[in-house]
Structure 1
Amino acid sequence: MCPVVPQPLGVSIDGHLHGFRVTLAFLLSMCLSRMTFTAACPPPCLCASDIVSCSGLNLSTVPPDLPGYVTRLDLSHNVLTALLLDWPDRCLDRLTTLVLSQNAITHLAPDTFAPTPHLRHLDLSSNGLSRLNASAFHGLGELEVLLLFGNHISQTMAGAFQGLSSLERLYLGGNRLTAFPLELYQRDGDLPCLRFLDLSMNMVRQVPVQSLLSLATWQQSGIYLQGNPLVCDCALRAMLEYWERRQYRPLLDFREEYPCSLGQEEWLNCSASPQGGFHGTVEVSYQAEPGDWLMVPCPGVSLPLREGLMVFWVTPGDGSPALGVTDGQSSRLTVLTNGTLEIRGALREDSGTYSCVAVRGRHRSSNETLEVTVSVGNPSGLGKSGEERSSGGEHFNTAFTTLASCVVSIVLVLLYLYLTPCRCHGGKAGGVGGCGGRAMLLCADPREAELADRRVTGGKRVAFLETGGEHPHKCRAKHPVMDAAAIEGILKNGSRALEQVLEEHVA
């Protein structure tokens, strides 16, 4: 706020009016200049609302006095060589995007990005970084995208990406990495949200095939390995063939940049079919009870296996381990030397779809599959995804509902028959004499209808009655009563038997 200068006591307003105006104008100009200074765009950058662009200005240092309201800051195409801890002179707590590409940055100090705690997109591509310090990205818990391609990174230091709990996409292409950075997925969950990894155009020669098959990442977004000098062997050929079968986009989009083309498996001596006779199979299903011992052959693989053939089994569930022939024999799930999956002491959680990864050596038709479905316990309870189906329960509920409806109908009919009062005494209330048409009544005996209002006997019978001319005050049976066999048939056969019996007596 601008300070208010009060009029001095005992001083004439007319005598000092000019001085007061000068003082007020001076203070007002200072306030306005301060407001303009704090909100002004730092020269020689360009500003548009909350975007500040300082790109292509040959800057060697970050401009001072960056506005605190900036959400996107572009410092690309300059000659910055390092980012020190005090590179901004204030906390940029609204900054979400920082572009530092096409500079000469070779060093990132620890806690470099502490002044930008809400950063979500960081572009450090095309710089001179050769290593990443352990605390370079400390404090970026909201970062989602990190671009590091086009640098000189030869290895990822332990803890370099620690704290990036929200990171989803990591671009490391065009560097000098010689090994697959498997620690990104294994080190205490440093990157639990990582779904995209670009390792293209590096110097990687070997990849951990079995570990890659265990990662859920390759199935969701992808791992890009094109442009690396990968050594083609049976394990890599089996994985690439499996990826082709599963229509894996990172492989299909850059297939010409991968080794191990179709037809190389012969000179690699790792074809699954020695005579070239691939026998495709429709989906195979196995049913077992808990505790059973299962032997599941690999579909489409002819026995005996060639020497050097690699067989892997991908187990159900995201992040479940892939099994190989070289695994220890102590596990309940083991891959034998002939490629057969052995499940010892089957459990219900073993149910699901298993995929056999091996070199087949030819394209397959659409009805050929590499998958095997295993169900432990309920044969119809589990499908490919291992989730329980409710069809059996639905059939049971339908049958139970039908049976309950029949029982309730029979009980209601019997209650109607046995609890209907045998009142055939007309005329007392001015009504029509007799039972008034054909009716179904309960009487102890046709001759004891007079006493029906006063006592109940044990031998009740069912009869069809009409109004009688000779004895208007008695219920006279027109047809013989039902016997015990008819009643038993009603109870067994339900309402249909009851209708049939009633029709026979009415006729």
Structure 2
Amino acid sequence: MLLCVRLLPLLLIHTSPSSLGSSAHPMLLMLCIGFIPTVAPCPIHCLCASDIISCSGSNLSALPSDLPSYATRLDVSHNMLRAVSVDWVSQPFHRLTTLVLSWNSISQIEVSAFTATPHLLYLDLSANQLRVLNSSIFSGLSELKELLLIGNQLTQIKPEAFSGVIALQRIYLSANRLTTFPLELFEDPKGPQNLTFLDLSYNKLSKLPVQSLLSVSRHAGIYLQENPLLCDCALIALLEYWLWKQYHPLVDFQDEYACRGTAVREVNCTYQGLSEIPVKAQSYQVQPGDWLRVPCLASDFPVQDGLVVFWVTPSTILNSSVSDPVAHLSVLANGTLEFKGALVEDSGIYECVVARGSYYEAGESLEVRVMVGNSSISSTTGLARRSSGEHFNTAFTTLASCVISIILVLLYLYLTPCQCRESRGGGSGCGARAIILCSDPREVESGQRRTNGKRVAFLEPQAEDSDISVPKTPVMTLDHVSTEGILKNGSRTVGHTLADPAHVA
């Protein structure tokens, strides 16, 4: 302080306006006044390395109050924390992207407890004692992408528990005590909008919403192995359909599903002999407004009473247990799909899902292609291509463009003709070897050529002794470079290509 008292007057007197922007003088002023920024020291029970703070295995019952707020990754696992309250940290962590709270004794999380970490991407709450996920428990985590709740004691997920967590992509709920499928994860308009991974393995699920799973499994991997599932006809139809689609969450763990093997044969879901009929792809073409009936499995056998038949359409999922007399598309009680006045947008691929009691062979197909009007269905995507009228319009436009181009070239060549001069050899100077038109004869005599904007190159072969050559234009190639970001340990770079998720015990 004494040094500041002696140097400060001298500094103020001898400092010129041009030197006020230097870094030494402002720092000295801030040091003397007492506003020098300081970096919080690492807590005594933690390890700090760059922007990573680890307080793991320190028998902490509460977090230290002097945690540095510059951290992007905070690990407080293997401690004795019992709750996550609103004031669990003393200051906001605006840079924190990864928070590890696993292997504690957390049984309660207060609402808005994570508002102090608004940019969190990864949250690990595994191996705690959570029993219920209350409404708005994760509010404030609008950027959260991955949530781990493995090995808790969850029995209930209340509505709107994930309200506001719109960016959530992966949820691990394995090894809990859930008895009801959390369908609100996909149906809550305020919840996750792009959920692509849900692990519900090793829970207590006995009944599944088959129709909803047929819809959400189109874009999400749902793991259900090691659950005490009841083998009804709807579930058998779902598992058979997933195996035919080579759905990885089932194929990778098919030996861990109880509703297979002898259990399937014990449930009488179809008439005898129906399962031996090979299933082949079918195609139907109708005009707009026509009525169409498509039988399930391309078979004339009646469907057993009480057996639910599902139809996967390009836009929704239908079943034979719910009939809407007003809808133009419905499933009859015998499993037949009925179009009451086909529309052009009905064109696409339809799949009939019903229990057979046996798995589909490699050559069998559940696809039914429906073409309304002149549309055609792509074999890979099942979407209607452009109509023949659109193809005609494109061809006509191309032809018209070619004709106009030819006319313009002819006008360009012959609208202002040039006078040809005799060559020195006695021949005409307007042969196939000519490359410059409308040149000044005096310039040709002197051997000088000036560009005047009119040039034409002939494609006829030239003699070897020709002194006129047309330079070749180099071919330009563009290399396409694709980059993929990888999310690891709090990195803010997000890749959108997900590999097949591995099994999490």
Counterparts of residues 88-237 of structure 1 (less than 5 Å): 88-215=89-216, 218-237=217-236
Task: Provide Cα deviations, 1:106-156, integer angstroms capped at 9, x if missing partner.
Answer: 111121111111001000111011112323211111011111121111111
Give CA-to-partner distance per residue, 1:242-278, whole Å, 9 cap, x none. Answer: 000000011111112212224544421103x522553
Please list the CA deviations of residues 429-466 of structure 1 after superposition, one character each: whole Å capped at 9, or x if unmatched. xxxxxxxxxxxxxxxxxxxxxxxxxxxxxxxxxxxxxx
Query: By how many angstroms is 1:400 displaced?
Result: 8.1
**CA drift at 1:390:** 6.3
Per the alignment, residue 420 of structure 1 pairs with none
Please name the residue that 1:331 is paired with: 327
TM-score (norm 2): 0.70
Q: CA deviation at 1:40?
A: 1.5
Confirm or deny: 8 A CA contact 1:121 1:144 kept in the other structure: yes
| 1:365 match | 361
Query: Which of 333, 345, 365 is equivalent to 2:341?
Result: 345
Q: Secondary structure at the match of 1:39?
A: coil
CA offsets 1:69-120 (integer angstroms, 9 cap, x no match): 1000000000101112111111110000000000000111121111111001
Partner of 1:5: 5
Task: Please give the alpha-carbon distance, in whole angstroms, between the structure 2 residues aligned to 1:2 and 1:394.
Answer: 89
Cα contact 2:321–2:333 (8 A) shared by 1: yes
- Look up the match of 1:497: none
Pairwise mapping of residues 287-436 of structure 1 onto structure 2 (< 5 A)? Answer: 287-299=285-297, 301=299, 303-317=301-315, 320-380=316-376, 384-389=381-386, 393-394=390-391, 397-398=394-395
Question: In 2 relative to 1, CA 3–164 (structure 1 residues): closer, same or farther, beyond 3 Å?
Answer: farther
Q: 1:343 deviation in Å? A: 1.0
Q: Which residue of 2 aligns with 1:492?
A: none
Residue identity in the other structure for 2:343: L
SS of the aligned residue for 1:237 comes to helix
Gap regions ≥5 residues in structure 2? 10-29, 407-505
SS at match of 2:211: helix
Letter in 1 for 2:258: P
Larger Rg: 1
Report the secondary structure of 1:316's partner residue.
coil
Question: 1:260-306 deviations in whole A, cap 9, x for unaligned?
Answer: 224544421103x5225532243211111221111011125551223
Partner of 2:272: 274
TM-score norm. by structure 1 comes to 0.70
Amino acid at match of 2:169: E
Q: Which is bigger in relative contact order (C-alpha 8 A, separation at least 6)?
A: 2
Consecutive unaligned residues in structure 1, runs of 5 or more: 10-26, 410-507
Cα distance in 1 for partners of 2:402, 2:139 equals 68
C-alpha distance 297-240 of structure 1, shift in aligned 2 (>3 A): same
For 1:257, the aligned partner's letter is: E
Tell me how far apart the structure 1 counterparts of residues 342 and 165 of structure 2 sit (CA, whole Å): 39
Greater Cα offset, 362-371 or 38-47? 362-371
Task: Note if contact 1:156-1:181 (Cα within 8 Å) is conserved in structure 2.
Answer: yes
1:16-70 CA-to-partner distances (Å, cap 9, x unmatched) read xxxxxxxxxxx979979x866x331111211110000001111111012111210
Q: Could you tell me whether the CA contact under 8 Å between 1:351 and 1:375 is conserved in 2? A: yes
Paired residues, what number?
388
Alpha-carbon distance in structure 2 between the residues aligned to 1:120 and 1:408: 57
CA distance in structure 1 between the partners assigned to 2:110 and 2:393 by the alignment: 67
Change (3 A) 1:274 1:7: closer
Contact 1:232/1:260 (8 A) holds in 2:
yes
- Deviation, 1:345, is 1.6
